[in-house]
Structure 1
């Protein structure tokens, strides 16, 4: 029954992934952790429906101290319409036991990314190409519950995204146009579920689903110079860059220090 419910959950994740936004912003998933003791380590590798790979490491070198690192890569698989990204992040945090089965975790960190997308423009046709380079400072809280052979929880992250580059080009036009948005706060929520793959609970299957939502940007003065576009189009593209982005993945977790003796 548990396996059947898990596959039903995965089908719902796939449906959510189909609602993907066309924004060039590509969020990494908030860090998922069930680490609750010194010396514990979690290594997670996941795949998203858009072929993006993500890897995360969470380690506790001292009691109640967490160190995290993560990276994400999406290759370019087509010439006309595509999406590609490279990004990383690192963080420090802590965890506290609310009960024998509940763990509250807090993290703060920094990350950076480059992203490029080529998307069909409907209904007028043509291909819009977007380029972005940005950094982020983030803080997050998560609540995890461990049960026999499974765990689940929720994560909330607030990220301040600062764009060093945010621009687009329409169709075959050689003109590259700046999108007037320098930074944005994004609220990112994630739910996760893990099920054990072996009796010692060292290997787990993980499914996640979440959403990244941005505060709508205030209209800015259009940039001057030859890269200037009309005010309406620039602010339309700024709104596109602030659209919600779903986060869905399926992955495997390896916990080498964990046993079934707790």
Structure 2
């Protein structure tokens, strides 16, 4: 088991190095994490760190059998001068869980969130010098997600899929001004792996890797002629790869 654990850690470390700061888009999705609660009164809290320095925290509680309440937030301050991401977000959710035997669990959550995001980066061109792009966005979102997980005393792992409707209250480019994009639909999937501490402790290590995919608008999808602002709006729809390492704490129960 120790060899498996070390192998997973090495593989995840390689992913972190490859991902770096992630995609250059102002949209910064939160991770569609899946709580592993299976009884009334249980709760769990998680915190994770992404390779770009972004911190994310979530909490989940089961006030009644099969009922799930969730809350989450994420923040990243400005750490660089040119290539940076600044974001502040929160989301709230309600859903349910269904144990399948002793080792598997289904989970479904629907919710709402709000976000502010500010991103700047250098965009390389093949035949021209690099140019600096800077975007700001405020948006709210509605999401629905479903997940499945395998749970035991040694390893907990699973997959979560989220469908997110993003609605921009403002979306601007520093040079071009307001961009012609009011909403977008994102497909977001995440694999996660949780390693419990020895029995009797209430902690788990957490590793995640996921992808957020947006639609690609064509020139005839815009009401106005396809120009610089439309191309900049399309930039917001790029895919985003996200990874993290963290810890999970569940105070109401220890081990499984």
Interval of TM-score (by shorter of Structure 1 and Structure 2): over 0.9
Normalized against structure 1, the TM-score is what?
0.90
1:210-221 mapped onto 2 (5 Å cutoff): 210-217=210-217, 219-221=221-223
CA–CA separation in structure 1 for the residues paired with 2:88 and 2:63: 28
| Mapped pair 1:144 → 2:144 | no
1:118-156 residue CA offsets vs partner (Å, 9 max, x unmatched): 111223333211000010000000101112222000000
The corresponding residue for 1:245 is 240
User: Quick check: 1:184–1:217 contact (8 Å CA) kept in 2?
Assistant: no
CA–CA separation in structure 1 for the residues paired with 2:174 and 2:13: 36
Structure 1 unmatched runs, 5+: 171-175, 223-229
In structure 2, do the counterparts of structure 1 residues 62 and 152 end up closer, same or farther at CA, with 3 Å as the change threshold?
same
CA–CA separation in structure 1 for the residues paired with 2:136 and 2:198: 43
1:84-233 mapped onto 2 (5 Å cutoff): 84-123=86-125, 124-170=129-175, 176-217=176-217, 219-222=221-224, 231-233=226-228
User: Quick check: 2:78–2:86 contact (8 Å CA) kept in 1?
Assistant: yes
Deviation at 1:8, TM superposition (A): 2.3
CA–CA separation in structure 2 for the residues paired with 1:153 and 1:76: 33
CA–CA separation in structure 1 for the residues paired with 2:54 and 2:20: 14
The corresponding residue for 1:225 is none
RMSD of the TM alignment (CA)?
Answer: 1.6
| Mapped pair 1:43 → 2:48 | no
CA–CA separation in structure 2 for the residues paired with 1:62 and 1:42: 15
Deviation at 1:16, TM superposition (A): 4.7
CA–CA separation in structure 1 for the residues paired with 2:180 and 2:234: 10
Deviation at 1:216, TM superposition (A): 2.1
Q: Secondary structure at the match of 1:147?
A: coil
Deviation at 1:15, TM superposition (A): 4.3
CA–CA separation in structure 1 for the residues paired with 2:17 and 2:51: 10
CA–CA separation in structure 1 for the residues paired with 2:162 and 2:196: 26
Which of 22, 25, 45 does residue 23 from structure 1 map onto?
25
CA–CA separation in structure 2 for the residues paired with 1:221 and 1:8: 49
Structure 2 unmatched runs, 5+: none
Normalized against structure 2, the TM-score is what?
0.92
Deviation at 1:165, TM superposition (A): 0.8
User: Quick check: 2:184–2:214 contact (8 Å CA) kept in 1?
Assistant: yes
